[in-house]
Structure 1
Amino acid sequence: MAYVFVIASVIAADQLSKMWIVDAFRLFESREVIPGFFNLVYVVNTGAAFSILADVQSPWRHYFFLIIGCLAVIGLTVVYMKCKGDNKYYYLPVGLIVGGAIGNMIDRVRLGSVVDFLDFYLGGYHWPAFNVADSAICVGAVLFIWMNYSDSKKYIKTKEKL
């Protein structure tokens, strides 16, 4: 149940934040929040992370990203079902990743692209704009790797004691 709650929370936060941006901003509009560090900006991304494949003009690109997203959601849910016996807290990182993937897939289905709006920068360097779903995916991935690393160390210590 916690797994579904995390997924639903990420989707809700992602979609509500994107609805606000679309309603409150014009496409490509930017508003400074923290001078020299953070803006809110309304941009769209037809590609994957960091606009990978955004310049590919194939009608299949859209379906490719939807299929990859669906496979990721299914695959990660299977991983969660297998991992939850080892560590009951795997619901959090996997739920974050799955919720983020679904949030971005909703945009692709509704709009044909993903709404991005968080723009961090330092001097002339801008990190590519991203959204709540992207943040959830990244945080979830880092947590998942850390939990796997921690669990593997515990497993090795247990094996050594035997």
Structure 2
Amino acid sequence: MDKYQSPNGSTRWYLVLALLILIVDQITKWWAQISLPMGQALAVTDFLNWFLIYNPGAAFSFLSQAGGWQRWFFTIVGILAAVVIIWLLQKNTHDRSFCIALSLILGGAIGNVLDRLLYGAVVDFIDVHYQGWHWPAFNIADSAISIGATLIVINEIKRAITQRS
């Protein structure tokens, strides 16, 4: 088996990874909702707080004050992204690193879509900060999406460098 190919050349392993991301995301959001007070920082370390909020917008609270239509817009975008990602997984089983990245994005996207459907907003609870500067609150799904997107960029840079040499 080529080191870049999935076992059996199928998408099963990648879908299992996406499912694991989704499960961890939903369990941590459930924990945050039953354990954390709304909008109050609970210090974990000098740079990390637990901080429960509901974000009706997208990344960095984009469109969070849009009046409600954004819930359905981002839900539809997330569902369409999931469909495209599953199609890409099926077409690219030979490229393991690309499919792992897509799986992270898929699990995160579905996790945030589920929040929008259940709560009308995304559950965020991780607050990273330094000297009074706070990164916007996020969750495991957001982390998985960010890591997946970063892996895709790194892989494409590597591919471009390899093709030039």
Q: What's the TM-score once normalised by structure 2's chain length?
A: 0.87
| Partner Cα distance (2:116, 2:83) in 1 | 18
Q: Distance in 1 between matches of 2:108 and 2:54?
A: 16
Kept in 2: contact 1:2–1:91 (CA 8 A):
no
Percent identity between the two aligned chains = 35
Which residue number corresponds to residue 152 of structure 2? 144
TM-score (norm 1): 0.89
Aligned counterpart, 2:118: 110
Structure 1 residue ranges, 4+ long, deviating more than 3 angstroms after superposition = 152-157
Where structure 2 has 5 or more consecutive residues not aligned to the other structure, the ranges are: 1-11
Change (3 A) 1:14 1:119: same
Shift in Å at residue 38 of structure 1?
0.9
CA deviation after TM superposition for structure 1 residue 156, in Å: 4.2
Which of 94, 101, 105 is the matching residue for 2:109?
101
SS at match of 2:44: strand
Aligned pair count reads 154
Distance 1:70 1:51, change over 3 A: same
Contact 1:45 1:115 in 2 (8 A): yes
Q: Contact 1:97/1:140 (CA < 8 Å) preserved in 2?
A: yes
Aligned to 2:64, what secondary structure does the other structure show?
Answer: coil
Considering only aligned residues, what root-mean-square deviation do their CA atoms show, in Å? 1.4
Matches within 5 A, 1:1-162: 1-35=12-46, 37-57=47-67, 59-85=68-94, 87-157=95-165
> Distance in 2 between the 1:47 and 1:3 partners?
28
